[in-house]
Amino acid sequence: AKFGSILHACQIFSNMHERDVVSWNLIIVGFAQHGNCEEALRVFWQMQQEYLKPNKVTFLSAIKACAILACLEQ
């Protein structure tokens, strides 16, 4: 997602049978870096609903998405 198409990354992510914290982090970071912060936060919450524990990278990515949204609202 960082260097390519976010749509392609979403497709790969959706087709994954097992997702670990790294794959969740990559899709969250990808959304945030492509300016789709609301989707990044939606995926962050979805990750937690699937009982996967976020790590430091996950939280930093979610905070980044929140900060971008806050700047856009001003």
Give per-residue pLDDT as tens, 8-28. Answer: 889 999 999 999 999 999 999
| pLDDT of the residue at 43 | 94
Is the pLDDT at 50 greater than 60, yes or no? yes
Is the pLDDT at 49 greater than 80, yes or no? yes
| pLDDT of the residue at 74 | 65
pTM score of the predicted model: 0.83
Spatial neighbors of 21 by CB under 8 A, at least 6 apart, are 52, 53, 54, 55, 57, 58
| pLDDT of the residue at 1 | 55
